[in-house]
Amino acid sequence: MEMATLKRVRRHRRKRGLRKRLFGTPAQPRLTVFRSGKHIYAQVIDDVAGKTLASANSRSLDKGYNAVAAAEVGKALAEKAKAAGVEAVCFDRNGFRFHGRVKALADAAREGGLKF
């Protein structure tokens, strides 16, 4: 098995374990993060209705693809979520480790007013 494939399999295994416990409700939607090689994407999702309430990514912000850009995405997402009436979220790291860009996004969203 290739190394990239093995990494993907491990992440999906961690993701399944997380998603068993996490479920976004209208009162507390799920904030999910996807980290690609260059960019980072985040969404606030109501799983009951199956709708995305707010989203932000580093591609649309043109801020680059480091932790600083991830923090900008977190701030932008917090603003959009507050505008949609979301106060608290449950954080879904999507199988990624909680460090680097994922941690920077989460910290910035907290500073923006979202409660985890």
pLDDT tens-place string over residues 15-42: 888 887 788 888 899 999 999 989 999 9
Q: Which domain holds residue 31?
A: 3-111
pLDDT tens digits, 43-79? 999 999 999 999 999 998 887 789 999 999 999 999 9
pTM beyond 0.85: the answer is yes
Please tell me the distance from the alpha carbon of residue 114 to that of residue 76, in angstroms, as a whole number: 11
Side-chain-facing half-sphere of 82: CA atoms under 13 Å: 13
Residue 116 lies in a domain: no
CATH number of the domain bearing residue 68: 3.30.420.100
- Cα dihedral 6/65/92/113 (nearest 10): 170
Q: Quick one: pLDDT at residue 64?
A: 78
Give the pairing of strands 90-92 and 30-35: parallel
For the chain, give the number of residues: 116
Q: Residue 90 domain-assigned? A: yes
In a domain, 107, yes or no: yes
What pLDDT is stored for residue 75 in this prediction? 96
Predicted pLDDT at 73: 96
* CB-CB contact of 1 with 19 (8 Å): no
Q: Which of 9-13, 17-21, 92-96, 107-111 is predicted with the least confidence, judged by mean pLDDT?
A: 17-21
Q: Which amino acid is at 40?
A: I
- Where does the chain have alpha helices with state H? 3-21, 58-61, 67-83, 101-111
In a domain, 8, yes or no: yes
28 within some domain: yes
pLDDT-derived band at 3, boundaries 50, 70, 90 = confident
| 29 φ, ψ (degrees, to nearest 5) | -70, 170
Domain count for the chain, please give it. 1
